[in-house]
Structure 1
Amino acid sequence: MNQVMELHHDHDHDHDHDHGGCGSSHKMVFHAGVCQEILFEGWMTTTALELFGSAVAIFLAAVLYEGLKYYREALHARATSATGDSQVNITKNECGSGGNCGGTAVVKYTMLSSGHIIQTIMHFIQSTASYILMLVFMTYNVWLCLALVLGLALGYFFFGWRKSNVVDVNEHCQ
């Protein structure tokens, strides 16, 4: 029994030493603490400078995420204007009884077209980034959450004005 208690005590001591005495409890309420495990065991902040650096990285990741969303839409829009690609079928979208939608087009890629493969890869990257950013927000650390939403806002400011539609039907976290 004493041997089990000693082993447990040694494990707790090593655990505290590895994380600068912060422990590893995950708080399920918003908090402004400096000690924070982010996404995986190796990304642990123990000082305000480490937390600030992590917040900057998350801020930049959020800006890039918004850029990726815009880039996917821009590639799709470029495909709608393509006329010579034999693997992309562009058809007039039929709306209402008159069938006139102001000249909108629907892009229908073939399954093995390069455009569809690129969009699939980018969708995979966008989905993964979206869920990773959601997990960052779920740390409930006020500073990381603030960095994330400010990064999304700045990314939208940089890229959103170029978008042809305001509602993103491909958004994964909202």
Structure 2
Amino acid sequence: MDGMSNMEHKSYTHMTFFWGRNSEILFAGWPGTRTGMYVLALVFVFALALLVEWISHCRLIGEGLKSNRVVAGVLRTIMHAMRVGLAYLLMLAVMSFNVGVLIAAILGHGVGFFFFGSRAFQKTPPPGKASTDLPTTNL
């Protein structure tokens, strides 16, 4: 009997959409088969999508930094890299083909856009001023 037969490894890789908590999202063995961990994974995906929307619509570079074009450019580059990196991480989570993860991602983007991008809670910027630090993504 070899050492591999004693270890049982279950893989939850699916190649079609499915509904269920037995899956792997982003990391091997996570969330596994436990319902609480699956719910935590859904909350994580929702928060990740919300964070992507916040970064996409935030204004962090103040008027003082805008006068220094190099510093403002470096900050915008860092923000862009963070947005793209988090969006790729979110894409990988959705590629688990779990319907719950897909719904959590869509809801996170929707809620994030409502709060940060729809201007329902913001004043309209004066004409000629950008409403965000980063350009919009072309999805």
Structure 2: runs of 5 or more not aligned: 125-129
Counterparts of 1:10-89 in structure 2, within 5 Å, are 10-11=6-7, 13=8, 15=9, 23-41=10-28, 43-71=30-58, 74-75=59-60, 85=67, 87-88=68-69
* Partner Cα distance (2:36, 2:100) in 1: 12
Q: How does 1:72-111 map to 2 (within 5 A)?
A: 74-75=59-60, 85=67, 87-88=68-69
TM-score normalized with structure 1 length: 0.63
Residues of 1 paired with 2:41 and 2:60: CA distance?
31
Q: TM-score, normalised by structure 2?
A: 0.78
The percentage of aligned residue pairs carrying the same residue is 30
Q: Which structure: larger Rg?
A: 1
Aligned equivalent of 2:102, options 136, 145, 153: 145
Matched position secondary structure for 2:96: coil
RMSD, aligned CA: 2.6
Partner of 1:109: none
- Find the residue that maps to 2:45 and give its secondary structure: helix
Farther off after superposition, 42-51 or 25-34 = 42-51
Greater share of strand: 1
Q: Which protein, 1 or 2, shows the higher relative CO under an 8 Å CA cutoff with sep ≥ 6?
A: 2
1:146 CA displacement: 0.5
